[in-house]
Amino acid sequence: MKIGVPKEIKTLEFRVGMVPSGVRELVHDGHEVIVETNAGIGIGMTDADYEKAGATVVAKAESVFAEADLIVKVKEPQLIECAMLRPDQVLFTYLHLAADPEQAKALVDSGTTAIAYETVTAEDGSLPLLTPMSEVAGRLSIQAGAYALQKANGGRGVLLGGVPGVAPGKVVIIGGGIAGTNAAEMAIGLGAQVTIIDRSVPKLREIDGIYGGRVRTEYSTKHSIELCVTDADLVVCAV
């Protein structure tokens, strides 16, 4: 199969649909991979890296879309990209169509078969292509929160871990799923006092089993949320 990887063109999108090691796997299995020049530049991968992995690097997105049977991207296709898609092609990317009717229409008009990453479902009902996004989001949330709490950044001047003799900051995480537990791990790591609120007692039990005395688990009620949130330095909503 001919697989194409165009450079992402959405503003502030630095990622790329496939890394060179992915190219190498596909080429090894007999596929052909066409990559737009500089597609990996945002993550520090050069055209030479892709070529070494077996890809053909081409100068223009048009060439990628023209030749490939399968297009692998990160972000939803922009209008200019939709115009290049064909009915006999498959597009594999995040779509988030609900929020973007204009894109949805262009995509339908293209006649392409589009598979949204966010809808790929594993046998056990999990969403394997969304989970890493939740992991990253959960971990980043605490990093962002710690930064925002610094006085110089307009925060209240609380250091999440405190220092000996000074109490640590209070982090309340609403939701004990993937994003929530990843946030909790970072907050624990920085030394904060962490509370996780969830509606599922079995989930709280699992969290209690993993983090023991390092996380306070609270069953979610209007009352517990009210108490915890009004007392918190940082609230992470991970529902």
Q: Which is nearer to a copy of itself, 93 or 193 (CB)?
A: 193
Q: Which is nearer to a copy of itself, 107 or 175 (CB)?
A: 175
Q: Which two tokens stand for residue 186?
A: 């970072």
Minimum distance, C-beta of residue 115 to a copy of itself, in the bound complex (Å): 18
Q: Which is nearer to a copy of itself, 87 or 213 (CB)?
A: 213
If DSSP codes are grouped into helix, strand and coil, which group holds residue 159? coil
- Report the greatest alpha carbon distance in the chain: 66
Rounded-to-integer distance, Cα 225 and Cα 229, Å? 6
Minimum distance, C-beta of residue 53 to a copy of itself, in the bound complex (Å): 8
Q: Which is nearer to a copy of itself, 22 or 86 (CB)?
A: 22
Residue in 193, 132, 135 with CA at minimum distance from that of residue 159: 193
Minimum distance, C-beta of residue 50 to a copy of itself, in the bound complex (Å): 12
Minimum distance, C-beta of residue 238 to a copy of itself, in the bound complex (Å): 15
Residues facing 215 on adjacent strands: 194
Spacing of C-alpha 30 from chain mean position: 30
- Binding residues (CB under 8 A) for a copy of itself: these are 12, 14, 20-22, 24-25, 28, 42-44, 53, 122, 126, 128, 131-132, 135-136, 139-140, 143-144, 146-147, 150-152, 156-157, 159-168, 182, 185-186, 188-193, 201-202, 204-205, 207-210, 212-214, 216-219, 221-224
Q: Which is nearer to a copy of itself, 113 or 143 (CB)?
A: 143
Cβ atoms of residues 237 and 175 within 8 Å = yes
Strand order in the sheet with 113-116: 56-58, 32-36, 2-5, 70-72, 90-93, 113-116
Check residue 212 and report its DSSP letter. G
Q: Which is nearer to a copy of itself, 66 or 159 (CB)?
A: 159
Minimum distance, C-beta of residue 55 to a copy of itself, in the bound complex (Å): 13
Q: Which two tokens stand for residue 228?
A: 């915890």
Residue 184 CB neighbours (<10 A): 26
Minimum distance, C-beta of residue 181 to a copy of itself, in the bound complex (Å): 8
Rg (CA), the chain: 22
